[in-house]
């Protein structure tokens, strides 16, 4: 990717406070008024919109959706009501994944009552280090290693049942942190099931893409795309179906298997074998399954609770806002929290964006700040940049603030966690992407089109390195002066405060600034 001289880009303001003022900030900007149907449609939404539009500047369509109750106030109290109930704290990736979300969740989970997953499947990979033990999570919320935490897998998650139990048992053998996990895991009855043939189809589709177009998407082959496709096509099967009438479930399963067999004649599906395994899981998962909407509502509107949401994947892998088509198949931005847990937006509280101090990406797709040179190799080696799920080496490059700013526009980060700062300890100078040019013309936005993004010329600021080991540092003041300046530079360009700085793998290596 081409690059050119230094240029400073103006930050998109998020509101109050100076960049070095790290106090939490209230949400700011214009708010949208939303009109939703509360039944099966045809309630008369258009008439209400028409009434409100007389005094509006802008009217938007986003999709057709059923509304969830907001639960506040009495039906006869018609005055505007404040948001009520517990708020969830959300942890999201701000790049292409692998930013260290698991570590931030692990830190916050020490004081949490409940940790939730809202989207994705076992294509995600979160690593948490406790003492000398390294735990790897793909489907389970990583906060489950905190013994007092209840873990909730929401309806937006797709579940491969053999993978779920295999992951739990594998981590359980490493130490005592997962003790009693089966009693502390709750699964939404509306979550879709990933079957073995979904994973097989994923592999076949990748092979076909390679043969037909000369490139594939670089999926994890965990069946994520096929199962979300089945969900959208309304042919998928959910946990509630498995626990209801198994005969009916079996018939629907066979129909789905035959559909895939017709599309992919070489596909081998052991229908009776997989049905037998699924039947064996029924009694095992039944105690874990709840009506997810009701469970989440009770958690939000019951006694005070600290609820944490652990995002999987990251903003630039979002199906709508990521670098399409090289993305995952779910919404990994803040909107996915509401749809993936069945909760209203007024219960979203803090939204923490996790940012690696440099940039990495797994697989193919545009990567403007990539360094295909000795710098990229050094970042890869020092950062041990190998995928938790696939074992593939990650591509590496400098920090790209255009990309982070774009993620902030979508998610409204209230604070950032800056991870792996120690990996930059050996660099005499550090470059940071602050603006983009295409065809030698500045562009004010992050391009949607992949071909345009491939042609981006990154404008860099060059900062002095610190040439000092930061791995033992435990406070911001102990960081070398140039490391502090690097953090300030990021805050100033994004106008978002950095709340944590990671300088190692353990819990203790996360420096909290406020």
Q: Any known ligand binding at 333?
A: no
**Domain containing 314: what range?**
88-189+291-512
Structure tokens at 347: 């219960």
CATH code for the domain in which residue 198 is found: 1.10.300.10
313 in a known ligand binding site: yes
Which position among 106, 126, 189, 202 bears the catalytic label? 126
Residues 367 and 272 occupy one common structural domain: no
Indicate whether 398 belongs to any domain: yes
Shared domain check, 304 and 226: no
Give the 3-state secondary structure of residue 68: coil
E strands, 7-132, are 88-93, 114-117, 126-130
Task: Give the tens place of pLDDT for each residue, 265-279.
Answer: 999 999 999 999 999
pLDDT-derived band at 127 (thresholds 50, 70, 90) equals: confident
Do 175 and 282 lie in one domain? The reply is no
Phi, psi for residue 36 in degrees, rounded to 5: -130, 150
Compute the mean pLDDT over every residue in the chain, rounded to the nearest whole number: 90
Q: Of 289, 315, 331, at which residue does a domain stop?
A: 289
Number of domains in the chain: 2
What would the pLDDT profile of 223-253 be if each residue is shown by its tens digit? 999 999 999 999 999 999 999 999 999 999 9
User: Has residue 8 been placed in a domain?
Assistant: no
The catalytic position among 45, 174, 231, 437 is 231
> Can you tell me the mean pLDDT for 364-376?
96
pLDDT digits (tens, 9 = 90+) for 480-507: 999 999 999 999 999 999 999 999 988 8
Domain boundary among 238, 266, 289: 289
* Whether residue 231 lies in the annotated active site: yes
**In-domain check, residue 507:** yes
- Whether 101 has a binding-site annotation, put simply, is yes
Q: What is the mean pLDDT of residues 93-119?
A: 95
Asked whether residue 254 falls in the same domain as residue 122, the answer is no
Would you say 31 is a known binding-site residue? Answer: no
Q: Is 488 one of the annotated active-site residues of the chain?
A: no
Annotated active-site residue 55? The verdict is no
Per-residue pLDDT at 24? 57
Annotated binding-site residue? 163:
no
Handedness of CA 173, 177, 181, 183 (dihedral sign): positive
Q: What pTM value is reported for the model? A: 0.86
- Is 292 a residue whose pLDDT tops 70? yes
Asked if 157 contacts 194 with a C-beta cutoff of 8 angstroms, the reply is no
Q: Are residues 230 and 305 in the same domain?
A: no
Residues 120 and 215 in one domain: no
pLDDT tens per residue, range 20-59: 677 656 556 898 899 999 998 888 888 888 888 888 888 8
Largest CA distance in the chain: 68
Say how many C-beta atoms besides its own lie within 10 A of residue 417's C-beta.
27
Task: Spot the catalytic one: 98, 189, 202, 400.
Answer: 98
Q: Is 353 annotated as a binding residue?
A: no
pLDDT grade, residue 389 (50/70/90)? low
């Amino acid at each position: 990717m081409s690059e050119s001289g230094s240029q400073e880009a103006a930050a998109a303001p998020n509101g109050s406070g100076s960049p070095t003022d790290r106090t939490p900030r209230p949400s700011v900007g214009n708010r949208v008024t939303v009109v939703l149907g509360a039944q099966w449609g045809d309630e008369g939404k258009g008439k209400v919109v028409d009434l409100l539009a007389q005094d509006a500047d802008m009217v938007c369509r986003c999709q057709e959706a059923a509304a969830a109750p907001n639960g506040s106030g009495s039906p006869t109290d018609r005055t505007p009501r404040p948001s009520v109930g517990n708020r969830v704290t959300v942890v999201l990736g701000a790049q292409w994944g692998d930013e260290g979300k698991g570590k931030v969740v692990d830190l916050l989970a020490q004081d949490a009552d409940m940790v939730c997953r809202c989207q994705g499947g076992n294509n995600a990979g979160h690593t948490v280090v406790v003492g000398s033990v390294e735990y790897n999570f793909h489907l389970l919320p990583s906060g489950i290693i905190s013994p007092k935490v209840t873990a909730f897998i929401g309806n937006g998650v797709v579940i491969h049942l053999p993978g779920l139990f295999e992951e739990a048992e594998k981590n359980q053998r490493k130490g005592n942190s997962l003790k009693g996990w089966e009693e502390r895991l709750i699964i939404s009855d509306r979550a879709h099931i990933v079957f073995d043939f979904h994973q097989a189809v994923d592999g076949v589709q990748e092979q076909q893409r390679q043969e037909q177009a000369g490139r594939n998407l670089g999926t994890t082959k965990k069946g994520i795309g096929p199962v979300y496709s089945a969900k959208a096509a309304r042919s998928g099967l959910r946990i509630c179906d498995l626990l209801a009438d198994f005969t009916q479930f079996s018939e629907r399963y066979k129909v789905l298997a035959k559909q895939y067999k017709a599309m992919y004649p070489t596909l081998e599906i052991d229908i009776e074998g997989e049905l037998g395994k699924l039947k064996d899981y029924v009694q095992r998962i039944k105690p874990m399954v709840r009506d997810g909407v009701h469970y989440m509502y009770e958690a939000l509107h019951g006694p005070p609770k600290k609820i944490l949401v652990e995002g999987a994947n990251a903003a630039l892998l979002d199906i709508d806002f990521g670098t399409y088509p090289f993305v995952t198949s779910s919404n990994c931005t803040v909107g996915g929290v509401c749809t993936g847990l069945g909760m209203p937006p007024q219960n979203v509280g803090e939204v923490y964006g996790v940012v690696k101090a440099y940039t990495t990406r797994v697989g193919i797709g545009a990567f403007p700040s990539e360094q295909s040179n000795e710098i990229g190799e050094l970042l890869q080696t020092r950062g041990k940049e190998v995928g938790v799920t696939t074992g593939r080496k990650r591509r590496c490059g400098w920090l790209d603030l255009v990309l982070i700013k774009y993620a902030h526009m979508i998610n409204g980060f209230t604070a950032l966690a800056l991870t792996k700062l120690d990996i930059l300890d050996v660099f005499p100078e550090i470059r940071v992407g602050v603006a983009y040019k295409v065809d030698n013309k500045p562009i004010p936005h992050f391009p949607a089109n992949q071909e345009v993004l491939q042609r981006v010329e990154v404008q860099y600021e060059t900062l002095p390195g610190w040439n000092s080991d930061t791995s033992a540092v435990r406070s911001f003041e102990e960081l070398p002066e140039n490391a502090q300046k690097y953090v300030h530079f990021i805050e100033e360009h994004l106008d978002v405060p950095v709340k944590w700085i990671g300088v190692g793998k353990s819990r203790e290596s996360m420096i909290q600034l406020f």
